[in-house]
Amino acid sequence: MPDIKYSQPLPTASVLQSFTPTMRYYDTMINGFQRHLAIEQDIVAMLPTEHARKVAYEQKMAVLDTAKAKLRELVDFSTEIMEKQIEKPNTALGLSAERANEQIQNGLKEVEDAMAELRYLMWEM
């Protein structure tokens, strides 16, 4: 499975700099889990549909897909904010920046929760 690719680079605008390392961390973690599950994929593909290992694998993939989708959404949202800052650098973001920061924090919490669930699923077997 290839690494996650985004339409834009991870954000570096000043309002978002504090979130960029966290996003990169989760991106790296997601890619690591993705590589691990890619190794397991060939083995699981040969198992019957109802086999416990196959069911567990599909559950892990569902959680991973959720985390990837949320992280992509956050990167795209952050990039959108950064582009607005570039277009109008002298415009204060004010409340919209606070809402954006809160939305990003909430999204990162969702990714963190998904990654914790995935770690649990990966190591319980």
Instruction: Give 27 or 114, the one with higher predicted confidence.
Output: 114
Is pTM beyond 0.85? Reply is: no
pLDDT in tens, 7-28: 444 444 454 556 777 888 888 8
State how far the Cα of 26 lies from the Cα of 101, in Å rounded to an integer.
Answer: 17
Is residue 8 in a domain?
no
What mean pLDDT do residues 59-85 have?
86
| Number of domains observed in the structure of the chain | 1
pLDDT in tens, 59-68: 999 999 999 9
DSSP structure class, residue 14: G
List the domain range (segments joined by +) for residue 67: 15-124
